[in-house]
Structure formats: C-alpha cells, structure tokens
Chains A and B, each alone.
Chain A
Amino acid sequence: MSSRIAQGGAINRQQVCRFTFDGAGYSGYAGDSLASALLANDIRLVGRSFKYHRPRGILSAGSEEPNALVELRSGARREPNTRATDIELYDGLEATSQNRWPSLKFDVQAINGLFSPLFVAGFYYKTFMWPASFWEKVYEPLIRRAAGLGRAALEADPDHYEKSWAHCDVLVIGAGPAGLAAALTAARTGARVILADENFVLGGRCLAERRTIDGQPAADWAAQAIAELRSMPDVRLFPRTTVFGVFDDGVYGAVERVNDHLPVPPEFQPRQRVWRFIAKQAVLASGAIERPLVFGNNDLPGVMLAGAVRTYLNRYAVLPGRRAVVFTDNDDGWTTAADLVAAGGQVAAIVDSREPVIVSELARRFPDIQAIAGEVNGARGGRHVESVEVTSRTGTSHRIDCNLVAMSGGWSPTLHLTSHKGNRPRWDEERSIFVPDMLPTGMRVAGAANGDMTLGEALVTGFRQGLTAAASCGFSGSMPALPRVTEESARRVPLWRVRQALGKCFVDFQNDVTTDDVELAEHEGYRSIEHLKRYTTLGMATDQGKTSGVTGIALLAQRRSIPVAATGTTTFRPPYTPVAMGALAGHHRGMDFRPTRYAPSHRWASELGASFTESGPWLRAQWFPRAGETDWFEPTCREVKAVRSTVGLCDVSTLGKIDVQGPDALKFIERLYANNFATLAVGRTRYGIMLREDGFMFDDGTAARLAENRYLITTTTAHAVQVYQHMHLCHQTLWPELDVQFVSVTDQWAQFAVAGPRSRALLQRVLDPRCDLSNEAFPFMACGEVALRNGEPARLFRISFSGELAYEIAVPGHRGDALIRTLHDAGQDLGVVPYGLEALNVLRVEKGHVVGSELNGQTTAHDLGFGRMLSTQKDFIGSVLGRRANLIDPARPRLVGIKTVDRNAKLAGGMHFIPQHAQRSIEHDQGHVTSVCYSPILEQWIGLGLLTNGPDRHGEKVMVVDPLRGAETLVEICSPVFIDPEGARLRG
C-alpha cells in the first residue's frame, strides 16, 4: 500500500479488506471505496475508453465517475458498469475492468485511436450507412463488440430485491453539510424526517475537506449531527440510498443498496430495495460536481478532479500522486494544492488560467510552490501522465514532470432532481453555473446544489430550508446559532477550453467526445443542444454527462457566439444514476410477476393430477389425465364423451358474479342488458348480452332472479372486472337516481357445473332428499336456494353450457373444496368425471356458444346471431349506436359453424375464409375462423368462424387458409350448433 498516507482518514486500519482486480489480489481497509483502495495500491489504469480504447484512470471520487467503470462480482451476480468511485470496499470484493481485449494493459483496439477520423461525431450514422445488408450481419455485431460497456450476467440473478414505501414530512436528499443542517432544523421541530445519501457514509464533503465548524473538524461536526438525528424517533437515516427520481405529488424514487457491500447478502435479506418516499416537503442538498478542464490528453490516468484529490487525501488517506501539478480557473483549486502539501505530497506547480494579478495574490500564500498564470496545453505519458506542457501568459512554455494533474474547472450544482418534472435550470452568468429555477412543488434547494458553494453558505441555507420545509408541514422551530467556519472563496473565471492544445481534448470522457466532435457537429448544423447530444453522444450512457454537460453547452455557445443562457440544457430525466431492473421489479418476478388466482377446487384438482393453465389471473384445470394418458387429446376426448354420456364436474367459480339488490334492481338490469328481463320470474334465470355504448358486444352471461328485488348476474371470467366497473359507472354517473345496491360476490360462491345425463341423479345424492329436481319442480333455467344433505345452504341453477342436462351448484367459497370432493365421491358409480377447460371448450364449440374468441370487441350482436334479442322497447347501453346501418349489415362477417369436408383434415384458429376457387389474397378474404376443436362426438374437426353473409351460406363449401403455416382445407359452412339443435337434451 505504497500510496497510503500513514495517518488520518475515515478508514478503519484495523479492518483489512482483501480484494481482486483483474484477478490480482490487493488489500485495502474498511471505509475505502474501490477507487481509493486501487489508488492506495498504485493502480492507476482502470479501464479503456468507449470508442478509442484509450487508457483511463480514476477521474472523480463519486457517482459522477465517467471512466472507472468495472464489472463487480462474478457469475450470476456479475454487475456491469459499476463505478469504482462509489463502490464500498469489502473483504472478498472481485472487480474486473471492462471494454478491453485481450488485457487492460494491452488492448488491440487502442489502434482505433489512429483511425480516429472514422470515429468522429455521428460516426455511427456515417460509417455504417451502406450497404444496408451489412447492418445486421456485420456492422452491428462489430460495433457491439468494440464499443461495449460491461457484460451483464447471463444466469438469473440469485438475489432477492424488494420495494417499500416510506412517508415523511420532510425528505432531505444528500447528507453533506447542507443536508445535515436541514435535517437537524426540520427534525428538531418534531417533523418526521427522512435523510438519504447515496454514499455509504453520511457527511458528504464534511468528510473530504480540512475545514472546521465551530473550531472542530467538519467530520466531527457531521458525526455529532448524525448522532443527534439518530437519537430522534421520527427521523430515518438512509445511507447507501440514491434518490434517483422526482415524480408527481411528492413521490420520490430511491434505491437502497442494502447489501451491495457484502459478497453475498445474508440469508433472507434483499440485495437492494427500491423506496418510494412520499414527502410533503423536500430539501435537495445534493451538492455540486466539479468540472474537468479541457486540454490535450486530459483523459490520461493521473489527471484527476482537484476536489476528488482532496477526497482521496482527507477521507481515504491516499496520496493519488507524489508530484502534482494543479490546473485551475478558480480559487478552489488552490485548496487542493494546500491539502496536497499538508498530506506530504509535492506540488510542482499551480497553473491558474486567470489574470496574473489574481494569481500572484493567491501565490503569496504558497511561497514554496511555483505559481504560473497560464494554461496546461496537454498532458504527456503512455498509460499514465508523466509530464505536462504549460504555457504561461507571457508566452513561455515549460514541460513539468508530474504523475498527478489536479484540475478544477469550478463546480456545477447537482440540480438534476429539480428538473425531473420538466423544469429547466437557469444560467447564472455571474457565477458561470446553472442554478435551479422553477422547482417541483414542495421542493427547496440548499447549499451547493443551489449554487451556494462555501461551507458557511451550505450550513446557513441548510438550516433555513429545513426549518421552512418543516414550517410548511405545520411544525415550528427556530434557527440555531450560526457556526463559525473556515473562510473560503469560490471566485472563478471560466476557462471552457485551453487556447492551445496538445492532443485530443476530451469533453465527455465516457463517450470519447472531444472538442473537435463538438465543433464538427456544430459545423454540420447540429446547433441545438439536444441535437448535439444525439449526434455526438455527449452526455449519454451511464454517467449522463454529469461531468461533461455544462462544458459541452458552454463550448457550443462559444462556437456559435451566443450566450450560454440561449443554448439551454438537455433534459434531465430519472434515474439520476442507473438502477438495476431487478430492484425496480422487486418481489414481482418469476411466478410473482403478477398475482395468481386459485379456484376453490384447486387443491382437489391438483391431487387428481390435473394439468393447469393460465386464464387471465386464474390458474384453471385444463384436463385431468388418467394413467396411460400422455397428452391433452386423450383426456379431453374422454372428458367430453363422459359429459355427453354420464356426468362431468367442472369448476366454474371463475365467472364473475355480481349480486344486485334494491327496489330499482330490475330497472338497472334492464338498462345494462340489451335483451328483455322484465318478464323474468322469480326463481328463473335468463341468458343476457351487454353491449358497449358504441353498439358492439361487451359481455354475456346470465341473470338469475333470486327474489323480487334481487338478481345474481354472471359475467365472463375475462370481463368480470370491467363489467363490475361499468356497472358502477352506470349507476354513479348515468342513473344515480336508481335505488340499487350491488357488490361482487365472485369469491363468496364456489360454483361447479354438474353436467350430463346423470347430473340429476348425482345431485339427488348430495342434496337434501326433500329437494325436488324433477322437470316440473325445477325445469331448465330454474334457480333457487337448496340445502345439502348436511343441512348447509347452497344455490342451484339449471343452466347448461354443454348442451346436456346440467346444473350449476354454488356454496360459500370456503365450502367449495368440501363440496367438490362430496360430488366426486358420490358420483363414482355414476361414472362421474372431472373435466377441464379443454373439454369445456369442445362442449361449447359443439353447441355454438361464443366466448372471448368471438366476443373479441369487434363483433356485434347481429354478427353473433343475437340480433333478435335486442330489445326495441327500451333504452339500454348501446341501443342507439348498435342500430347503425353498418353494424347490422348482413354482409358483415357473421357467426357460422364449419366442418372439414375431408374428415381427416385438421383446422387451426385464425385461418381465413377464401372462396373455393379464388386467389389466396387479401382481396378475397371473407372472414376468419375463431374457434376450432376436434369433436369426439362427430369424430372430426369442427369450428366456429365469422364469415361474410355467413348465416345465408349454410351448405356452401369454402376454403380456409393459413398462409403463415402454409395450411389450407375445404370446409362446409353449417349452423354453429352441431349437437342437439332442438335442445332436447338440456330440457331432459
């Protein structure tokens, strides 16, 4: 650890952390970042650049880092593009450099630098334009290999992520001096406070500077403030938590890296947690980001931001270079020189681009350091800076040997979060910075984020904004005595680029965008800052131009000879720093991606070995295979035959059920359904259709009149939620005068179809013997309350989806499992068979009943053969527009049955109808096949379809074609009711 300073720093020298970088072993201390540990181990070369594969080192000490991106961990936990500068070092950390081949020190694509004219602004668009056929096969793979960032893991992430909500009065974003001050004053009023900071230690630049507050080191002041906050019950501290987005109405998105500082999260703990903070008020105290200066080879490893140099010296006790040159356009750079000297480093020269009078005034404080009023033209070195070329204002040039260049182009307020709701920052010409202007409702800004750059200003504005924010929430307090702080100055005369440069001058390090690229783009007409960004990629990728954005804007302004204010900024959008998709998904991945709904018979069905399928959110039994049945076909055919010959059981609880009561229940139902219900007697059920107001079919189901003013209506499984919502909409907005009450009882009733010639016999064994199921007492479409043999109440409906003698029996949801077992046991000698969705589908196709494939949102009642059901005696939803001429045109595709002419031919859903001898083209398309099945009763494939003039074409032969799969066959058009068209069976 040759660059480690013997004493000081916020590191724990008792706790050694071993880690690897590109396979080689090193060690650092707890409290180190990966970057500080690499620097302590004299590792300067950390990555290769995006386009030119130039050697890159560590530029910054925070989340703004554009260069030092590494792959963290390995295997399934490998995470690309993590910033070495804000990774907390832990024992066992594995990091790998990115975008280099075969090795970091020798990268064959560094030759790209020699062909840099090929890689200028817009090179993707220019170089890879033609021939077009080359794009997918040649160019894209080439670009992806060459211009890559890190590699994502290929295996599924083994760790757990989650999401959580937290509420507060005041959210403070950033725990530097301003944030701590704001949290203190807000919390002391009794307000509920959340304080979040992206770093693994709270304190911000209090940890990085040799400053004092009331005579004590700033870090000690911060520690006291944190201790006070921690002692308050309504304050929550969130280190390692990046507030990445500002959303509407005081919602802030944040990601907490709960266990990223461990190789593997402890059992049962998440790796990361996404927070949604709901805050009445927020104080943004996100600080500022230092700007690099633009000179030749300013990307060489060893060229570092001056403020970052101080962080490494003071917080991490690392000397990033023994012999430094400081290059600055402001007073703050001189502080770095002082800190370097204090830490035992050597400062070969301070180069200050400002007027000699300013420089000599400052130089009096540093009699031992050579101060030059002038510029660094360029850095020299192979894989690391070895010297700089400097030109003084007087015109003399020097070469100064050094292995560290600390550069300071001033600090830009970190105001990204002020812009997430669409507000643009304002250019402050005097200070040459963008400052927040219009703010999201409830947000205030304190400290450097607002352009108040000194420690004293940070504390004052922090205290004040914390207090005002709390006051806005109804809490009162008072300003504390203002602490005495070390004096400092933020004077600056901006130097956007040096006048004479040696070598490439990088503006955006991550995207390899140089001053030449900016000029070329402007020359080619990309004059808007948004166009410049897209054309040059300046400000894109993982760092989103945190260090480069303002300089890019200023250079464009300079080039166009317009004020920076007129150039504007690009748009800041969430997230502030990259957020893993896994964290955003949280618990909801894999089978928890969305909730699953289990039918009441689920356990019974799984015990029988049923195969299940998703039906909307529901998991429903598809078929119940018996020993020896290996596919879906055999059990389905067997189940269909059983229903048509003995008796079958099917869980139909998934249908939506809505109980409608009240004196106006009938009026309400009459207006919802298109057909007549006024004549429905108590104890009877009727099929009903609902239209949308535009006249198309909405849903179908039954309504059972349970009592004078009580109806139980059913909806399709798919539309249950929409129908329920629609009913509320109609009641609450269209007919609020109706005295009607209704509620969903879908879960209250477990409902089973008992279908087949022996269904009556089976039910008689299960129901109270006094219950008369004869045709006279309980005819087709009857409904009523019944009792089971054990006395428990149930409801019985004589309705049939299969076309057989059939019933549906319902019991309260928690009794469903018991009832299905009772039914199944009681019917063994009757040949009872459980049947699933596949059989249900065959049974309904055989009877021509429509489902979702036909109720597809594009069909009308007339199309589906319900035209005559539409009442002309009443107003109902869809009554007016449903009468439109185009909707009742007989030439519309209308419902028909189809059966193959060749009894061995198969059908597929989605096949199109084409007249027999017509060309297979869109002009001759006459509709499509909606549902198909193999009918084990008819022993051939049959289907339903929507065919132009369909009902008038029974007996005609038409081709059905499937051009996608190259299949076609001849079918005969017929009635959609294939079995028992007279309905004798269901009335039996």
Chain B
Amino acid sequence: MRIPCPHCGPRTHEEFTYYGDATVRRPSATGPDAEAAFYDYVYTRDNPCGLHRELWFHQGGCHEWLVVERDTRNHDIKGAVPARSVFSADDAT
C-alpha cells in the first residue's frame, strides 16, 4: 500500500502508523453528559464497508498526521490531506 503524503509525496505504508477513525471529535469535558459523550468518543466506532476517513501518522517522514481516505474493501486510497487542515477547519465552523 502506498499513501500519498501531501508533504513528502507517495510513500510506502511501512513509513506510517495507523491510528483510526478520523471522523470522531473530542467532546467538551464540561458538558452535562460528558462521561457518555467521552464513552462514545473513545469506544464507539462504525465499521464501514467502503470509504473510510482515518488518521495515519507519517512516523518515517514529516511527522505530520494525515487524514487518509481508504476503501476498506480493497485498500484503494482516494487521497490524504494534512490533519491540521481538517481539524482547524472544524474549529472555524
């Protein structure tokens, strides 16, 4: 598998560390249902058949976290973007 690092170019997957679902967001620690919300955030995951957005760390390269879109059925990778840009955009909304 090769991951197109937006900073370094396409690289073999051995350079990356997999983390997991990139769509979950850390809830507020002070909300009324903080414990339930954190429980979902930490433990509850979908297991999609098809495209999945997930976090990978370019450990053997630029040390940037990436959001990689991967098809769970065949490992086809549609693209990768810097996690910073995805998560900063979240903040703006």
Interface of A toward B, CB cutoff 8 Å: 247-251, 276, 278, 421-422, 441, 693-694, 721, 725, 728-729, 732-734, 736-737, 875, 879-881, 883-884
Contact = CB atoms under 8 A, between A and B. Distances in A.
Interface on chain B toward A: helix, strand, loop, or mixed SS? mixed
Given A736-B84, A736-B88, A880-B34, A729 B57 contact: yes
B55 interface: yes
Contact of B1 (A247, A441, A693, A875): A247
B76 A441 contact: yes
Interface string B17-59: 1010000001001100011001101110000000000010101
Interface residues of B, number: 33
B2 A251 contact: yes
Nearest to A875: B29
B80 to A, nearest CB: 12
Contacts, number: 72
B75 A248 contact: yes
Contacts of A880: 29, 34-35, 38
A726 B55 CA distance: 12
B41 A693 contact: yes
Contacts of A250: 2
A875 B30 CA distance: 8
A191 B26 CA distance: 48
B87 A736 contact: yes
Given A251-B2, A733-B83, A881 B63 contact: no
Contact of B35 (A721, A725, A732, A884): A884
A736 B34 contact: no
A72 B35 CA distance: 65
B44 to A, nearest CB: 12
Contact of B91 (A249, A693, A737, A879): A737
A328 B48 CA distance: 52
Contact of B57 (A728, A881, A884): A728
B62 to A, nearest CB: 11
Contact of A249 (B1, B42, B83): B1
Contact of A725 (B12, B17, B86): B17
Contacts of B91: 736-737
Nearest to A880: B38
A822 B55 CA distance: 47
Given A251-B2, A734-B87, A422 B74 contact: yes
Nearest to A421: B74
A251 B13 CA distance: 11
A247 B74 CA distance: 10
Contacts of B59: 721, 725
A248 B2 contact: yes
A732 B65 contact: yes
14 contacts: A248-B2, A248-B77, A249-B75, A276-B12, A278-B2, A693-B38, A693-B42, A733-B83, A733-B87, A734-B87, A736-B87, A736-B91, A880-B38, A881-B39
A441 B1 CA distance: 12
Given A248-B75, A249-B77, 12 more contacts: A248-B1, A248-B76, A251-B12, A422-B74, A693-B26, A725-B57, A728-B64, A729-B57, A732-B64, A732-B65, A732-B83, A881-B39
Contacts of B55: 729, 733
A288 B80 CA distance: 39
B2 A729 contact: no
Contacts of A725: 17, 57, 59
Given A248-B2, A278-B2, A881 B38 contact: yes
Contacts of B41: 693
B87 A251 contact: no
B13 to A, nearest CB: 8
A694 B42 contact: yes
Contact of B65 (A249, A278, A728, A737): A728
B1 A251 contact: yes
Given A734-B87, A736-B84, A729 B19 contact: yes
A875 B83 CA distance: 22
A249 B2 CA distance: 6
Contacts of A884: 35
Most chain B CB inside 10 Å of its own CB: which residue of A248, A441, A875, A880? A880
Contacts of A875: 29-30
B65 A733 contact: yes
A175 B63 CA distance: 42
A732 to B, nearest CB: 5
Nearest to A736: B88
Task: Give 10 closest A-B pairs by Cβ, nearest first.
Answer: A875-B29, A249-B2, A248-B1, A880-B38, A733-B87, A732-B65, A248-B75, A736-B88, A732-B84, A732-B83
A884 B12 CA distance: 41
A322 B84 CA distance: 76
A422 B10 CA distance: 23
A725 B63 CA distance: 8
Contacts of B74: 248, 421-422
A884 B63 CA distance: 33
Contact of B42 (A248, A441, A734, A881): A881
Contacts of B42: 693-694, 881
